[in-house]
Structure 1
Amino acid sequence: MLHRLADLALHRARALLLLTLVAVIAMGAVGFGAFGVLQGGGFEDPDAPSSRAQELVDDRFGGDTNLVLLVRADDGLDSPAAERAGRELTAGVKDAPHVTNVVSYWDTGGSALTSEDGDQALVMAHVEGDSTTRAEHAEDVVDAWTGDRGAVTVRAGGGAALDNDVTEQVSTDLALAEAIAVPLTLVLLVLAFGSLVAALLPLAIGLIAILGTFAELYVLGSVTDVSVFAVNLTTALGLGLGIDYGLLLVSRFRERLGAGDEVPDALRTTVRTAGRTIAFSAATVVAALSALLLFPPFFLRSFAYAGIGVVAIAALAALVVVPALLALLGHRVNSGRLPWARSARQPDAPVWGRLAGLVMRRPALTALPVLAVLLLAASPLLGVTFGTPDERVLPEDAQSRQVSTAVRDAFPGNDADALQVVTRGPVAEGELASYAQRLAKLDGVVRVQASTGTYTADGVEEPGPAQAALGRPDAQRVTVTSGLEPKSDAAQDLVRDVRATAGPGGTETLVGGADARLVDSKKSITDRLPAAAGIVVGSTFLLLFLFTGSVVQPLRALVLNAISLTASVGVMVWIFQDGHLSGLLGFTPMPMDTSMTVLLFCIVFGLSMDYEVFVTSRIKELNDAGADNVTAVTRGLSRTGRIVTTAAALLAVSFFAFGTSSVSFLQMFGLGSGLAILIDAVAVRGVLVPAAMRLLGKRAWYAPRALKRLHARIGLDEGGPADDRDVPGADGPRPAAEPERTPAGV
């Protein structure tokens, strides 16, 4: 198939490029609408008990509290001026559109709405809408009613205000990251390719991939929930893969021209060899990202939509559009060359060949220290804990974070963090009272409120208007307030204890609230991790077997990738959970974000396999051409080392730019991805791969006879002769290779 693509590019180059231009314009027109249909949030499993409890609370009880206004009165809450301001605030919030269930100190009083020092009070409300519209509605209330209001000062917190702050901060941070990464990447591209014309080819791939994926996201966002954060993965990955594939194609094309091939022959060889590498590389990345489709939160699925789309479109552009451009450019691909960047246009990178040669002479001596460092970096994973985003992901000066901290510290036992228990049917008063009393006796519970009263371990109070509103003929709502640290192990244990308590009269109960969402989020992801890992490992093994014809090479690749990936995640645990470098980076240590860690794993694993295919493809070509093990590995790394490290460095720049964010989970994802890419490109490809290949010897290409026959039939080998200059002895004598053996030691 690839040779047909090469012939099509040679004979129909202008027609292909004209059709591409029309497609790009159409994709751009459609993709522009993606920004209007994408959503925020999406971190929860919609089928989890906490999500279904939230739906019942919203449908039957007007929603729970997700907006908290913290009011401070310098002259005391009961001063005439403070009371007038408080009542004006309460009336204004009640009149705001999309706001319900307003509970205010100036309506009901009560110690739960007053701080311990008596200078602060709360106005709590529910803001309607989904994750995106809710943040917008909350922003309207915050803009209208917060700030200095004469006798009182008002600040906003709660889930809706937090979502709004996170969305605004992430949008600002990502704009800054792209403003840093894109210009820097463009400059580095020119230096990497050594000529202006060649540097534009990866941009063509990236532009097509980005616009095509935006169009895909618009279509998907019109029929299902898609996260707005998928846009940023699209731009980063689209540009990164454009660089990867562009480097591979242009380097091979230049190499063949430099070897004396005519343009048609150079293009055919480039598409047959580098094109096959790109096809398998794209398939491995897609396989890794497809595992994200298993997870219920649409935040994770959205990255699968974007990632799979951008990889597939980038590969298609690389295999169809770039060959057409190369056919037209020919030797002019080197136009606009930079005189000081001559080495960038050379096919070989001697330093990588020398490094590979050194490693293969002393595989254990060189590999063991690298392995030791990577395993040490991975060791913090032994103490990893997982959580979900909360106010601590924001900077300390963020208003919603300050309010959450103040409510937790100054309003002990406040209902803002309470568990919400909802029955799915009617309940008799006596059974409801008995159930509430059992809940009040659980460890950590401060009080339980139901339509029949307020219950503590010591007794019961008669219901007031607020408690009476918790009952309906077809459902009952019970609020369980604890004095436990939100999202702590004890708070999660309380969720399990409440769920283990039999419902009133045998009625089914659903438990919601922030702590319940955390428990459900962790469960929904951990339950699907084995299947996701199975898909990633199984599909990667199959693809690498089809690519290499060996069963050893896929195993070797999986083991080395796992080592580099665990090392990268271990460093992130050391930084973001254990708190090292928190002062430098400006974040608050907290458990690792479950969703972002899974996302990091899938993306980095896919990109690592991308570089694995790049390196292995050239080694296999040389091995198939008759080169011995040492020559194949050293010359293969000499030919691909610069491509892999340059591509990795340019992609790492895009991810490291996320480290400038003020939102800690975005910092973690950016720094973790960039670090993992560099570790893989340098430590794994430069040291561990040649060491493993030397230790394995000829066994590196082993496969049982039955599988060899299978591979011969379905291995998708494009065939054709090897490059002349890659065949041992074709360009002069070579140094004698060391005998093939498996070293027992150093």
Structure 2
Amino acid sequence: MATYLYRIGKFAYRRKGTVLSLWLALLVLMGVGAATLSGPTNDSFSIPGTPAQKAQDLMAERFPTGGKDPFSSISARYVFAAPEGETLDTPENQAAMDATLAEIRGIDLVEPAAKVDPATAASPEEGAGALVNPVVADGQMTQMAAAQAEETGKPVDQATADAAALSPLSPDKTVGYVEVPFTGDFTNVDAELVDQIEAAAQPARDAGLTVEISGSAAQLQEAPGGTAELMGMAVAAIVLVLTFGSLVAAGLPLLSAIIGVGIGSLGITVATGFTELGSMTPTLAVMIGLAVAIDYSLFIVSRFRHEVSVTGNREEAAGRAVGTAGSAVVFAGLTVIIALVALRVVGIKFLSDMGMAAGFAVLIAVLVALTFLPAFLGLLGKKAFAGRIPFVKAPDPEAEDAKPGPASRYAGWVARKPLIPLVAGIVILGLFAAPAAGLKLALPSEASGDPATSSRQAYDLVSDAFGPGRNAPLIVVVDAQNATVPAQEAFGTVVRSISEQDDVANAQIVGMNPAGDTAQILVTPGSGPTDEKTVDLMQSIRDSETGLNEEIGVSFGVTGQTALETDISDRLLSALIPYLVIVVGLAFILLMLVFRSILVPLTAALGFLLSVAATFGATVAIFQEGWGGLIANPQPLVSFMPIFLIGVVFGLAMDYQVFLVTRMREEYVHGATAKKAMTIGFSHGARVVGAAALIMISVFGAFMLEDNAFIKSIGFALAAAVFFDAFIVRMVIIPALMSLLGDKAWWLPKWLDKILPNVDVEGEKLRQELTPAGKVDEPVSAG
């Protein structure tokens, strides 16, 4: 491989005009495509095949007009609160709410049935589904409950309790809400609609009422802006200047990253015109693509600097840099891409999309580093390291006259006393990992939203006034087609069974299909949507189906927002182990090819597990438990964060393993003892790997400035993961293990050595081709 990459590097340097023109043309083409072909994003989290989704599908089949998927349909909830000391049932407050409802009816996307003004409706049928204020709705429900009790013989107290469980007016009449249905889906939610929804609340607010609005139609999902990227690049620029001591050289990785991320992000934007992608997908791709693009270019520019000092020929140096450091870049990039693309095995679309988009960004970063970068070096010529900064010393650790630096002295100490850094590193990571035992997962929702937002305040008003269960309704879809008793009797049996469960505030039939063989039972829990009691109730209802099916032949499923979100979290958690096995297995094989060893890939994987455990612990402590007061609104971590984080961290962890340990292997295959190879390889690679890690930490850490809770937490987690992995695992634990293992670290069974192809990451074959027979030249090594 090194030979082919060497030729690519020389070609790009020599044909710089052609190569640069092709990349710029691709950038323009992607820009035109993004401007003309892009589509809206969609933050739907549905997963086919979960129990809740099956029940949702059955409801949509049997109730075509009332089985909307909560993840795709849009709605808004207006929550009204009376001024202190007042209630909503006064004429003045009812008039204020009616004024807002009149404004709501004027919004184009409100469903036609809801637009009808009940005061002017020609008949009760025409006014069915019309928006009415909570006081009127409460009165209507009370009358219906009394009529139902008289008509069916249902106990009056039960009918009254059922009406209260559905009433949009709180028992003390101080808080009420109105559900507003909209036509369309997430693609219809734009700034104009959100502004109209907000403006409709103004009449009631002007009259003194508190009005808070929640719901999918009232919240515009905007992708985070570019502030984080700029902050990250600013810090990266400082690190690069200190690494090279040259303004021009420091700008090369940044320019490469801008080109790579520009093409990658624009390509993802083009993809939104052909498939639905979540609003966070491009941001995550940019976050990862930016970090690896800078790092990969940094490794090649650093190697180029060394090769120029060796050969004195810049074209030759470009070829050697791409042939050696470029080989490590290819394999490091492959591990990241494997980890990201393998997210498809989980079978969850939005997670697969994130992985594919981020994998595409990494692929572009690799290609830019291998071709655009040497071409631009050719354009700069002798000015590649111009703009020297006098007070910044940036020595080449591989130079023949280089004096032993801190990295060399540290590596020598580790080689002499490996147990001390090994134990210390494991203990430190173990302490950070401890809080991970309390990890809790949930999907983003109003319950976990920022308390300063209107949607969260609306949620809190309803929870306080009606009880937490009002925000966590469960819908039981009962199928009595094969029941051995009349359908009505079967439905009643299921209702009684559910009512006997713990933590049930109310259970009642709220709808039957025209055929009369399927019913919807609304279950109001006594606890909120994120409470374990609600999850236990949902599971208890599901568990009771087997007995009732055997007894009366009825079947049912539990759905609703809470059930759907819980099932998604469970599916993601259950997919974690299979995903780990696949990713670690594939990467282990890839690393065996790189290092031609069994123990080195094994230690790499074990070090990764330590990094992930410490990362989870630190993230749980700060974002879930609120340690240090850094987060004003501690909440459970987003359900898909662990599996996505594992994929990304694994790829990045292997980056540092490849870049650092290939230097050790190069020295070993050239005749050095195992410990000597570790010290020399570490001293050669530590400076550039440390700079690369600092760049990644700055890029990821800058995303903590974003408002989006998931982006903020994933930015912190990735920054923490890079810190733990680069500075503790790869620079403390791995050198200590390499010293302890000695020659055994590079052991590979002979039969396996014959089977595995020699990919020549160290550039040994290239070195033999470039060095005349009998002449000892400067070793060409992996960077």
Superposition TM-score, scaled by structure 2 size: 0.83
For the pair 1:196 / 2:252, whether they are aligned, the reply is no
Moved more, 68-77 or 310-319: 68-77
Q: After the TM superposition, which residues 275-354 of structure 1 pair with which residues of structure 2 at under 5 Å, given as runs?
A: 275-343=326-394, 347=398, 350-354=405-409
The residue aligned with 1:736 is none
Report the Cα offset of residue 662 of structure 1.
4.2
Match for 2:66: what amino acid? F
Pair 1:9 & 2:12 matched: yes
Identity rate, percent: 29
| Aligned counterparts of 1:284 and 1:436: Cα–Cα separation in 2 | 53
Q: Does 1:69 align with 2:78?
A: yes
Which whole-Å CA distance do the structure 2 matches of 1:572 and 1:329 have between them? 43
Report the secondary structure of 1:319's partner residue. Answer: helix
Q: Distance between the aligned counterparts of 1:548 and 1:599, measured in 2?
A: 27
**2:339/2:650 contact within 8 Å kept:** yes
Show the 5 A alignment for 1:27-38: 27-32=30-35, 36-38=38-40
Q: Deviations over 1:80-108 (max 9, x none)?
A: 11111223333443553433565741432
Q: What is the SS of the residue equivalent to 1:341?
A: coil
Task: Point out the more displaced range, 709-718 or 565-574.
Answer: 709-718
Distance 1:229 1:344 in 2: 41
- Find out whether 1:592 has 2:621 as its counterpart: no
Partner AA of 1:216 in structure 2: G
Report if aligned partners of 1:193, 1:247 keep a CA contact under 8 Å in 2: no
Tell me which residue corresponds to 2:490: 431
Deviation digits for residues 29-60 of structure 1, max 9, x if unmatched? 223457x4252423332442323444545843
Query: By how many angstroms is 1:400 displaced?
Result: 0.9
> Are 1:49 and 2:34 an aligned pair?
no
The one-character-per-residue Cα deviations of 1:242-274 (angstroms, maximum 9, x if unpaired) are 211111111111111123432233223212211
One-letter amino acid of the structure 2 residue matched with residue 605 of structure 1: F
SS of alignment partner, residue 339 of structure 1 = coil
1:738 corresponds to which residue?
none
Is 67-76 or 529-538 further displaced after alignment?
A: 67-76
SS of 1:39's equivalent? coil
Gaps of 5+ in 2: 112-128, 142-163
Aligned twin of 1:114: 169
Spell out the pairing of 1:108-147 with structure 2 (5 A cutoff). Answer: 108-109=137-138, 111=164, 112-134=167-189, 139-140=194-195, 142-147=197-202
| Range moving further from structure 2, 383-392 or 234-243 | 383-392
CA distance in structure 2 between the aligned counterparts of 1:211 and 1:690, rounded to whole angstroms = 37
Change (3 A) 1:470 1:401: farther
1:98 aligns with 2:149: no
In 2 relative to 1, CA 10–591 (structure 1 residues): closer, same or farther, beyond 3 Å? Answer: closer
CA contact (8 A) 1:227 1:298 kept: no
* TM superposition shift of 1:305: 1.6
TM-superposition CA deviations, 1:201-256 (whole Å, max 9, x none) = 21333233223323432454333321121221232222212211111111111111
For the structure 1 residues 103 and 206, does the alpha-carbon distance in structure 2 shift closer, same or farther, using more than 3 Å as the test? farther
- Range with greater deviation from structure 2 (340-349 or 288-297): 340-349
AA aligned to 1:629 is A
**Residue of structure 2 aligned with 1:481, choices 524, 529, 541:** 524
Q: Which moved more, 1:473-482 or 1:596-605?
A: 473-482
**TM alignment of 1:715-726, pairs within 5 A:** 718=763, 719-721=765-767
- 1:577 maps to 2:624: yes
Structure 1 CA distance for aligned equivalents of residues 729 and 179 of structure 2: 54
**Is the Cα contact below 8 Å between 2:511 and 2:520 reproduced in 1?**
no
Among 346, 356, 361, the residue aligned to 2:411: 356
Distance 1:373 1:105, change over 3 A: same
User: What is the CA-CA distance between 1:156 and the residue it aligns to?
Assistant: 3.3
Alignment correspondent of 1:743: none
Residue 521 in 1 paired to residue 568 in 2?
yes
Give the C-alpha shift of residue 649 in structure 1: 0.9
Provide the residue aligned with 1:635 in structure 2.
680
- Deviation of the 1:508 alpha carbon: 4.6
Query: Partner letter of residue 105 of structure 1?
Result: P
Question: Is 1:151 paired with 2:207?
Answer: yes
Does 1:500 find its partner at 2:582?
Answer: no
Deviations 1:337-356 (A, max 9, x none): 22222316665782222211
Amino acid in structure 2 at the alignment position of 1:480: V
Aligned length: 706
State the distance in 2 between where 1:283 and 1:507 align.
52
Partner of 2:261: 210
Distance 1:176 1:214, change over 3 A: closer
What is residue 460 of structure 1 aligned with on the other side?
Answer: none
Name the amino acid aligned to 2:578.
Answer: A
2:743 counterpart residue number: 698
Give 1:463's aligned residue.
none
- CA 1:408–1:138: 2 relative to 1, 3 Å: farther
The answer to whether the Cα contact below 8 Å between 1:67 and 1:156 also exists between their aligned partners in 2 is no
Which moves more between the two structures, 693-702 or 530-539? 530-539
**Residue identity in the other structure for 2:408:** G
Matching of residues 228-243 of structure 1 within 5 Å:
228-243=279-294
Q: Whole-Å Cα distance in 2 between the matches of residues 413 and 393 of structure 1?
A: 14
Aligned equivalents of 1:179 and 1:252: distance in 2?
26
The amino acid across from 2:320 in the alignment is T
Shift of 1:124: 1.9
How far off its partner does 1:524 sit?
Answer: 1.6
Q: Paired residue for 1:402?
A: 457
Contact preservation (8 Å) 2:82, 2:210: no
- Kept after mapping to 2: 8 A contact 1:495/1:515: no
C-alpha contact (below 8 Å) 2:81/2:175 kept by paired residues: yes
CA contact (8 A) 1:656 1:671 kept: yes
Closer, same or farther: CA 424–341 of 1 in aligned 2, 3 Å: farther
Tell me the TM-score normalized by structure 1.
0.87
The yes-or-no answer on 1:509 pairing with 2:556 is yes
Cα distance in 1 for partners of 2:211, 2:243 equals 50
Q: CA deviation at 1:708?
A: 0.9
Does residue 621 of structure 1 match 2:666? yes
- 1:643 Cα deviation (Å)? 1.2
- Alignment of 1:60 with 2:115, yes or no, is no
Residues of 1 paired with 2:248 and 2:77: CA distance? 56
Could you say which residue in structure 2 is the equivalent of 1:22?
A: 25
AA aligned opposite 1:306: A
Structure 1 residues 227, 449: CA separation in 2 closer, same or farther (over 3 Å shift)? Answer: same
Partner secondary structure for residue 767 of structure 2: coil
Task: Tell me the alpha carbon deviations over residues 397-439 of structure 1, each in whole angstroms, 9 at most, x when there is no partner.
Answer: 1111111112111112764421122346768333223322222
Q: Deviations over 1:355-386 (max 9, x none)?
A: 11111110002221121111111122223232
Check if 1:390 corresponds to 2:445.
yes
